[in-house]
Amino acid sequence: MKKIAVFPGSFDPFTKGHENVVQKALNLFDKIIISIGVNSTKSSYYSLESRKQHILSLFENNPKISVQSYQTLTTEFCKENKANYILRGLRDVKDFEYERSISHMNHVLSPEIETVFLITAPEYIHLNSSIIREVGKNGGVIDNFVTNAKILVLTM
Ligand code: ADP
């Protein structure tokens, strides 16, 4: 059976930390679906289409990777795509507490789907999408934190 993982997130934007998690995961899975969760009550800073194009640009030569958006429960999205793993990144204890709760919830919903956590390389531990958004909003350059940042387009 092929090992298919869904890597869910807001990716607003997709940072070098996320990129590092995917690079590490490529050794573990046959296919990784980077999945942008769309929440109708939460507006995003960068447009959905540009977030998709941005992530695709980072992995365009890799047939193992695809990018999709979804609006359902993550576990339902996994089933629709025959994914038996959820991939998540961990930076620190705060991430761990939060991620543990989500993974327990997902386990109750769909025990056949296993969550796999990868710890990001130390140089990316400080990268946080919401802080990077603040830098962007205030006119700062985000190229040190996001590869190919020029592809991203603001929603307004
Ligand atoms: P969410 O809105 O689901 O938290 P994010 O886009 O913020 O989505 O993050 C998606 C996943 O990537 C989460 O598992 C998060 O902990 C992880 N992550 C975020 N930033 C980093 C980073 N710098 N290094 C490694 N993992 C990260």
Could you tell me the residue ranges of all domains in the chain? 4-151
Q: Tell me the fold of 4-151.
A: Rossmann fold (3.40.50)
Question: Tens-digit pLDDT profile for the chain (156 aa)?
Answer: 899 999 999 999 999 999 999 999 999 999 999 999 998 788 899 999 999 999 999 999 899 999 999 999 999 999 999 999 999 999 999 999 999 999 999 999 999 999 999 999 999 999 999 999 999 999 999 999 999 999 999 986
How many Å lie between the centroid of ligand 1 and the Cα of residue 61?
Answer: 23
* Res 39: pLDDT: 87
Global pTM? 0.95
Q: Is the CB of 9 under 6 A from ligand 1?
A: yes
129 is catalytic: yes
Closest of 1, 3, 8 to residue 117, by C-alpha = 8
Contact 9, 52 (CB under 8 A): no
Q: Is the CB of 129 within 6 Å of ligand 1?
A: yes
Whole-number pLDDT of residue 54: 98
Report the side by side order of strands in the sheet with 31-37: 65-70, 31-37, 4-9, 85-90, 114-119
Closest CA to 11 of 152, 123, 119: 152
pLDDT score recorded for residue 40: 79
